[in-house]
Amino acid sequence: MKKIGVLGAGAMGAGIAQVAAQAGHPVILVDLQEEAIAKGLQGIELSLSKAVEKGKMSEDDKKQITHRIQTSTRIESFSDCDLIIEAIIEKLEIKQSVFKQLDQLVHANCILASNTSSLSITSIASVCNHPERVFGIHFFNPAPLMPLVEIIPATQSNGALAEELKRLMLDWKKVPVIAKDWPGFIVNRVARPYYSEALRIFDEGIASQPEIDHAMKALGFKMGPFELMDLIGHDVNYAVTESVFTAFYFDPRFKPSLTQKKLVEAGWFGRKSGRGFYEYPAGCPSVNLDNEKATIIQNRILAMLINEACDSHYCGLASEEDLDLAMTKGVNYPKGLMAWGSEIGFGQVGQWMQNLMDTYQDDRYRMSVGLKKRMS
């Protein structure tokens, strides 16, 4: 693949354009708004300048990368691209409209990809005359720094092209994993209990938000669940949870939190608005947390995470290796959940799940078949 097109000059689109240009490709970055393009280029300039300051590249490298990126406000500028990655608003109808246009515009061998974090790739591909060339290529923010890329074939996709995209992402110095086109793919599905179970523990009055955050950081997580939700933004995090919940036919495992919904309604989105679960710049305060309470928090959240990972593997979402790579490289978990479950003992994890089911009698805490099989 030679020329790369990126649609959308927001933080993700600009970051993806930078990654492709750093890998040596000529890139065309398209956005309908000149202001968005200017802001995107400023972000690329800042990112590259930081890399120069840290000695990760030379000033000459920076200039060459910058020269490889051209911009346009016309979608027709994609006509000679070999791969186009869309990174626009998370609205299915808008993405379908764009892909229908692209499908009619580009040459026969051009691959069309969406950077969506949770929308159906199969639905996006359905509007194209050549759906076999449509894929999800989901980068993580910030794209130049986060190594993970989820590659998601649609139901209609040519499987051989998935391997070609995997090789391309390796050339781009990324860590690619292949996931089935199911809601949330790997990371946004498997990570849901990290947020939702923490919210349940808080809502039940078992522990405060800072206590829960400090308990999980003591396990090796870089950020506690409430800190991380504040960083992601509650408008974004809640929307993904709601999307996954709906797509899984309202499975109680993915039920959104009214507590988080109220933050969204209040406009308390987290760091970007100055207030979420915590006020900023102060952030999460220090707390004294006794070991017994910390253990209760840790075991409950870990049990739900490992149960979800086991279910995802059992259902064929991804290989065991890719599941663990996704969680360590995409959201910086201290260990892959499958490996963690093996280390703890799947029998022990199953006992934690059974205790939760006995206590709450809620289908949310049903043990996955995948976990049961690993216990035997």
Active site positions, annotated:
117, 138, 150, 188
Residues 6+ apart with CB under 8 A from 232: 270
Distance CA 134, CA 155 (A): 10
Distance CA 266, CA 309 (A): 33
| Structural tokens at position 217 | 């950081």
Distance CA 32, CA 73 (A): 5
Backbone angles phi, psi at 70, to 5 degrees: -105, 160
Burial category of 61 from C-beta neighbours within 10 Å (exposed 0-12, middle 13-18, buried 19 and up): middle
* DSSP letter (8 states) at residue 45: H
Distance CA 280, CA 287 (A): 17
Distance CA 195, CA 230 (A): 11
Distance CA 207, CA 219 (A): 16
Residues 6+ apart with CB under 8 A from 53: none
Give, in degrees to the nearest 5, the angle at Cα 172 between 170 and 178: 45
- Segment holding 302, helix H or strand E: helix 291-314
| Structural tokens at position 286 | 């220090």
Question: Count of CB atoms within 10 A of residue 321's CB?
Answer: 12
Which residue's structure tokens are 């976990």? Answer: 371
DSSP3 helix / strand / coil % (the chain, rounded to 5): 55, 10, 35
Backbone angles phi, psi at 173, to 5 degrees: 65, 35
